[in-house]
Amino acid sequence: MTMQRMALFRLQRKYAPYLFVTPFIVLFLLFGVYPLIKSLVLATYITSGPKSHLFVGLENFRFLLSDPDFHKAVRNTTVFAFFSVFLQLPLSLGLALLLNRELVKGRDFFRFSFFSPHLVGQVFVAVLFSVIFIPQFGLLNRVLHAVTGLALDTKWLTNPSLVMPALILTSLWMYVGFNMIYFLAALQAVDRELYDAAQVDGASAFQQFLHVTIPGIRPVAVFVMVLSTIGSFQLFELPYVMLGNSSGPEGAGLTVVMYLYNNGFVSGDLGYASAIGWSLALGVLLISLVQMRFTGTWKREE
Amino acid sequence: MPTNSVKKQLLQVALYTALIACTIVMLTPMVWLIAASMKGPDDLFHYIFFAPRLSLHNFRQLFSDIPFLRFLMNSVFVAGTTVLVQLFFSSLGGFALAKYEFRGKKIIMIVMLATMMIPVQVLMAPLYELIYRMRLVDSYLGLIVPGAVSVFGMFLFRQSMLQIPDDLLQAGRIDGCNEFRLYWNIAIPISRPMIGAFCLISFMGSWNSFLWPQIILHTQERFTLTIGLNQMVGLYAQEYGALMAGTLLSVLPVVILFFLLQKEFISGLAAGAIKG
C-alpha cells in the first residue's frame, strides 16, 4: 500500500511540470503558432471572406509594392513613429530627470499625475480628444486662442495637414508619463558613487549627465526606444476612432494596421491582410535590429 | 552675486514651476472630461469647465437611450474572465518554467521569446478564419479563448518565481504535498505582488482592447465598452455630453483598480525594466 503510494507520488512529481505547461502549450500552439504559420500561407492567396481562396503566389507582395494606399499608410505610420521616438522620449527623460532630484517633495503625486493618462485606453482617449479637438468650442482651440491667438476654427481633424500633428499630440499626452516611469526607475538604479567620484574629479553637471547618467541608463533607454517604435507602428485605434472610423481627410490618418483591417475585415481579403501583416512584422523587426545595432546593444555582450 | 543658497532656492522655484506646469497640462483633459460629463446640454460649451449648476442629464441619457449598462456589464464579464484565466495559466506555466527541469523547456522559452517580437496584428486574419471554423464568431468565447494565454505573463511569473527557495519546495514534498499543492500553497502566496501587477496589466489589456472585438462581435447585445462607445461616436456624434459621460464611466474601473494595486504595479513595471 505505502509502496504503491510512494510510486504514485514519484510519478506525479515526474510528470507535474508537463501537466503545468500543457494548457499554456495547447492554447499557444492553437492561437499563436498555428495562426502565425497560417498567415504565411494565407499571404499567398486572394480571399473573399473565410470561405473562398485563390492561390496567387507572391502576387500580394508585388501588388503591395505598387499600392499607393499602402505607401501612404507606411509614410503616415513612419512619421508618427519618428515623432514618438524623437519628440516623446526626450520629453519623458526630461520629466524623469526633474523628478529624480532628491529635494522634490510630493514625488508620488507628480509621478501619478504624469502617468495617469496611460490608464485611459486608446479608444477612450480617442473619444475624449475627438471632442477636445472640435473647432470653435473644443478645449484645445479655446486655450490656444486665449494664449497664442490661434484661430478658433482651426480644424484639427478635418484639415489633412493637421491630422498627424493632432495624433502626435494625443499620443504624447498618453505615453510621455508612461515612458517616464521606465526612465525614472533607470535613473534611480545608477550608482550614486559614480556621481560623487565625478564631482571629486571636477565634472560639471552637464559632463556628469553625459558620462555617468547616459551610460547608466542606456540599456533601459534602448529597451524603451525599441518598445515605443514597435508600439507606434501598430497605431490603429487612435486615428480610427478619432476620425470616425475612416482614414481621415485625404487619407491623412491612414496607418498600416488600419489598412490591414480595412482590407481583411471590411473588404474581406484575408490574404492581402496577411501580406500587409507580414510586411509590418518584417519592417518592425528590421527597424528594431537597426536600433539595437546602432546603439551598441550587442557590442556590450561580446 | 547670488550666494549659493539663493541660487539653490531659485533652482527649487524653477523646478516646482516646471513640475506644476506639466501636471496642469497632464491633468486638464481629465478634469475637463469630468466637468463635461456633469453639464447640461445648454451649458456644455457655454462654460469651459464646471457649470454653476451640475446636471445628471448625460448619465440619464446614457442609461435610458443607449444600452450603456449592457456594454459595461459585457466588459466587466469579458475582462474579469480573461484576467482569471490568464492568471491561472500564466502562473502555473511560469511555475513549471522557473522551478523544474524538463525536456523541451528550452524550446518552449525560445519559441515564446520569438513570438513576442511579432506584432499581434499579423495573427488577425488567420485567427478570424480559425474562429470562424470553430463557429465562435460573435460570441464571448471567441473573444476570450484566443486571449487566454499571455506569453508576457508567463515570463513575468517565471521571473518572479525563480526566487522561491528550492528548500521550501523540498520541505513541502517531505510533508507529503503533491506538486500542485506546492504551486497553490507555496508559489502563489509568495508571488502576491506579481499577481497584483499582472491583474492590472491583464485587466487593462482586455478592458481597452478594440481590434479583436471589433473584428468578431456583430450583435450590439454583445458589444464591449470600446466597441459600443465607438458605435456611439457614429450614431450620437452631436451628443457630446453623453459621449463624455460614457467615456468617464469607462475609464473609472481601471482607475479604481489602479489605486488598489498601484504599489505592486509600479514595482513590477520597474523590476521588469531593470531586468529587461
| CATH number reported for the structural domain that contains residue A281 in this entry | 1.10.3720.10
Of B12, B127, B149, Cβ closest to residue A27: B149
Per-residue model confidence (pLDDT) at position B6: 87
**CB-based contact B270 A32, cutoff 8 Å:** no
When CB atoms are compared, the residue of B15, B33, B229 closest to A123 is B229
Buried b (16+ CB within 10 A) or exposed e, A254-282: bbbbbbbbbbbbeebbbbbbbbbbbbbbe
The pLDDT of residue A292? 86
| Per-residue pLDDT at A205 | 86
What percentage of chain A reaches a pLDDT higher than 70? 97
- B8, B99, B122: best to mutate for the A interface, most A CBs within 10 A: B122
Q: For residue A276, is pLDDT > 90? A: yes
- Which chain B residues in 147-176 lie under 8 Å from chain A, judged by CB atoms? 148-149, 151, 154, 173, 176
CB contacts of A234 in chain B (<8 Å) are 119, 121
Tell me which chain B residues have a C-beta less than 8 angstroms from the C-beta of A25: 108
Q: Examine the pLDDT at A301 and tell me if it is beyond 50.
A: no
Helix axes B151-161, B68-99, angle to 10 degrees: 50
pLDDT reading at B198 higher than 50: yes
Residue A54 pLDDT: 87
Q: HEC states along chain A? A: CHHHHHHHHHHHHHHHHHHHHHHHHHHHHHHHHHHHHHHHHHCCEEEECCCEEEECCCHHHHHHHCCHHHHHHHHHHHHHHHHHHHHHHHHHHHHHHHHCCCCCCCHHHHHHHHHHHHHCCHHHHHHHHHHHCCCCCCHHHHHHHHHHCCCCCCCCCCCHHHHHHHHHHHHHHHHHHHHHHHHHHHHHCCCHHHHHHHHHCCCCHHHHHHHHHHHHHHHHHHHHHHHHHHHHHCCCHHHHHHCCCCCCHHHCCCCHHHHHHHHHHHCCCHHHHHHHHHHHHHHHHHHHHHHHHHCCCCHHHC
Check CB contact under 8 Å for B115 and A33: yes
- Are residues A12 and A154 both part of a single domain? no
Range with the poorest average pLDDT among A1-15, A193-207, B150-164, B219-233: A1-15
| pLDDT of residue A253 exceeding 50 | yes
User: Does A210 share its domain with A67?
Assistant: yes
A54 has which bridge partners? Answer: A46
Pick the more confident residue, A296 or A182. A182
Average the pLDDT over B18-35 and give the result.
95
pLDDT of residue A299: 55
Query: For residue B219, what is the DSSP state?
Result: S
B57-275 to CATH, choices 3.90.1150.10, 3.40.50.410, 1.10.10.10, 1.10.3720.10: 1.10.3720.10
CB < 8 Å from A in window 30-59 of B: 30, 32-33, 36, 44-45, 48
Q: Flag if B226 and A173 touch (Cβ within 8 Å).
A: no
Instruction: Among A99, A119, A137, A274, pick the best mutation site for testing chain B contact (most B Cβ within 10 A).
Output: A119
> Number of folded domains in chain A?
2
- Answer whether B125 sits within 8 Å of A99, measured CB to CB: no
Is the pLDDT confidence value at A1 over 60? no
Q: What is the pLDDT of residue A107?
A: 87
Q: How far is A161 from chain B (nearest CA, A)?
A: 23
Provide, rounded to the nearest whole percent, the portion of chain A with pLDDT above 90: 70
Q: Which pLDDT band, with edges at 50, 70 and 90, does A302 fall under?
A: very low
CB A126 within 8 A of CB A242: yes
Same domain, A68 and A9: no
CA distance B167 to chain A (A): 16
Sort out which chain A residues have CB atoms less than 8 A from B25's CB and list them. 173
Distance from CA of A5 to the nearest CA of B (A): 11
Are A43 and A270 within 8 A, CB to CB? no
Partner-chain residue, chosen from B180, B210, B243, that has the shortest CB–CB distance to A122: B210
Check residue B271 and give its pLDDT. 59
* Residue at A84 is within a domain: yes
Amino acid in position A284: V
Region A65-84 average pLDDT? 96
On whether residue A200 sits in a domain, the answer given is yes
- Looking at chain A, which residue has its C-alpha nearest residue B108? A25
Q: Are residues A102 and A169 in the same domain?
A: yes
Amino acid at B64: S
Label residue A106 by pLDDT band (50, 70, 90): confident
Residue B276 confidence (pLDDT) above 50? no
- pLDDT given for residue A297 in this prediction: 67
Tell me the C-alpha distance between B229 and B274, whole Å.
Answer: 37
pLDDT band per the 50, 70, 90 thresholds, residue A16:
very high
Asked if B178 lies within 8 A of A261 by C-beta distance, the reply is: no
Domain that holds residue A268: 60-301
Rounded average pLDDT over A81-100:
94
The residue ranges of every structural domain in chain B are 1-55, 57-275
| Residues A225, A254 within the same domain | yes
Same domain, A8 and A112: no
Average pLDDT over residues A266-275: 94
The pLDDT tens digits of the residues spanning B233-272 come to 888 778 899 999 999 999 999 999 999 998 887 776 665 5
Least confident of A58-62, A247-251, A295-299, B2-6: A295-299
Same domain (yes/no): A158, A105: yes
Cβ distance A124 to B251 less than 8 Å, yes or no, reads: yes
pLDDT score for A103: 66
pLDDT at B137 over 60: yes
What A167-171 contacts at long range (C-beta under 8 Å, 24+ apart), as own/partner pairs, is A167/A80, A167/A235, A167/A238, A167/A239, A167/A242, A167/A253, A168/A80, A168/A83, A168/A84, A168/A87, A170/A125, A170/A126, A170/A129, A170/A238, A170/A242, A171/A80, A171/A84, A171/A88, A171/A232, A171/A235, A171/A238
Q: Are residues A20 and A81 in the same domain?
A: no
| A259-287 average pLDDT score | 95
Note the pLDDT tens digit of each residue in A207-242: 999 999 999 999 899 989 999 999 999 999 999 999
Tens digits of per-residue pLDDT, A199-208? 898 888 889 9
Cβ separation of A127 and B230 shorter than 8 Å? yes
